Structures are given as C-alpha cells and as structure tokens.
Amino acid sequence: MLGLNKCVFLVVYAIQFILGILGNGFIGLVNGSGWYKGKRLSLSDFVITILALSRILLLWLLLTDGILMALSLRERDDGIGKQILEVIWTFTNDLSLWLVTCLSVLYCLKIANFFNPTFFWLKRRVSRVVECLLLGALFLSSASALSMIHEFKIFVITTGINDTETILEYFRKKSDYELIHGLGMLWNLPPLIVSLTSNFLLILSLGRHMWQMQKSGTNSRDSTTEAHKRAIKIILSFLFLFLLYYLALLMISSSHFLPGTEIIKMIGKIIKLLYPSVHSFILILGHNKLKQAFVQIIWHKPCHLYTGF
C-alpha cells in the first residue's frame, strides 16, 4: 500500500502532467488546425509545434518514470527496461532542448539589429540557418541517444558481476558507468551556450534600440521594443526552468549519497516536470496568435488570430 508521501507525490505529479499535456496539446492543436485548413505555418510556428509534440512525448516518459519510482518498480527492474527508457528520454530531452535553441536563434535573427556584416548575412538567410539548425538538432539528439549504448553495455557488465569477483572490481566498473552517465550531460552545453548568446544579443539590441528612441525623443513602447521584450522573456524563462530541471537531475543523481533518498527523489522529479509543463504556457502567452486563441477559449469570446510573433 502506498504511503502518504507517495500519494501526495502522485497527485502533484499527475496535476503537472495534465497541465503540461493541455499546454503543449493546445499549441499543437492551434498550429496544426491552421496547417490542416491550408494556412501556411511560419517558421516560428513550425518550430514551436515540433517542440510541443516532443514535450508531449517527454511528459509521458517522465510520467512513466515517476510512476515506476512511486510503485518501487525501479528496484525490481533488471536494467534493460530502464536503459531503453533512458535512451528514448535522452533523444527526446536533447531534441526538445535544441528546438528551444532554434527558436532562440530565430527570434534573435528576426528581431535584433546590429551593423555587423556577419550578423546581417545570417539575418538575410534566417530560414536557411534555422533549417540547418533543425537538421543538426536531429543529428545531435540521435548521436546523444546512440552514445547511451556504450553506457548500457557498462551497466550490463556492472549488474552482471557475481559474488566471486572483488568488490573493488564492482566499484571500478560502477564508477565508469557513473562517469559516462555524467559526461552525457555535456551534450546539453552547446545548445545552452547558443541560447545564452542569443539572449545576450537580444538584450544588447534592445538597449541600443531604446537608447536611440530616447535620443530621438519618441515613445519607447513601440512594436520593436515589445518584440524584443517578449523574446527575452521567453528565452530567459526557458533558461531559468532548464536550470531548475538540471538541478533536479543532480538532486536525483546524488540522492543515493544523501539522507532521505526517497523524499529527495520525489522533490527532484516534481521540479523536473516543471520545465516541459510551465514553459508551454510561457510560449502561449508570449505568442500573439496562441495568446489570442487561448483568451478566446478561456473567455468564450471571438477574436481574429494574429499570424505573426
């Protein structure tokens, strides 16, 4: 029978999961229905739609993982099911991260303005740049998932050590597994660096734009300023939520060495689920078309959907 802690954990986990499915499902439904009716999806809408679909899969994987932990099925797992789940999670997680990075680059190139030949060259080819990033995201996410195969082999060797082998040999192979598992997180560094760079350029561009507006004595609350602010909020919120997501992963990984292992794991998994759930609503509120459709559903009021960012 489940204890009180696990019951509370499952209820909170289920609420987060439902909110995440509703948010990401709403994005996919709005953009997908427009595409089905023959309307052409903008590049940003396409990236957001693929991002929402990848997060729906990620949410299901996280839900499965949370239920397995709450029902104590992880301890009875022979390792194969766990590793298959981790390989799929690695691909989906990395793809989701790279898609947000593509969105950050797209916003930066479309909104920011710099008198720089390289930036201007990229700005004129924004569609091609983002398309190349999408292909690179798919390739790198697949490579990251395939790298788990070697980790899986080490895990099998570690769990297959019998009693006749020395305890030193067990810990040596176990440390190899933990090292490779930790190094696997380095795949997340390149997209995070690109997202930080994009946000930094947007902040510089916003500051430069506002300085020019103040210098000319015009109103600083123009469409360009608002577009800068919306893009910065979306990227910063992603970086903040992903930082929490990463800290939650560290909490779960280090829970074996801390007292109250079960509680720490539960808190870590609840925090981890915030990233794919909450950020979907930030995307909705930061995107004019999605925001208007959301308001229309909430207040049951007709509105004309704006097709731009």
How far is it, in rounded angstroms, from Cα 254 to Cα 121? Answer: 46
The tokens describing 24, both together, are 């990401």
Residue with tokens 């995107």: 287
Q: Tell me the CATH number of domain 4-150+189-299, given options 1.20.1070.10, 3.40.50.720, 3.30.499.10, 1.20.120.10.
A: 1.20.1070.10
Q: How far is 92 from 138, CA to CA, in rounded Å?
A: 10
What's the CA gap between 142 and 145, in Å, rounded?
A: 5
For 87, list phi and psi in degrees, rounded to 5. Answer: -65, -45
* Cβ 13 vs Cβ 63: under 8 Å: yes
Q: Are 83 and 152 in contact (CB under 8 A)?
A: yes
Residue type, 189: L
pLDDT score of 165: 46
For the chain, what are the domain ranges?
Answer: 4-150+189-299
- Rounded Cα–Cα distance for residues 260 and 144 (Å): 32
d(CA 256, CA 301): 52
Question: Identity (one letter) of the amino acid at 102?
Answer: C
Residues with pLDDT less than 70, the chain: 1-2, 73-81, 149-187, 216-222, 253-260, 300-309
pTM of the model: 0.81
Tell me: the pLDDT tens digits for 231-283?
Answer: 888 888 888 888 888 788 777 766 655 555 778 888 888 888 888 899 889 88
Q: CB–CB of 232/261 below 8 Å? A: no
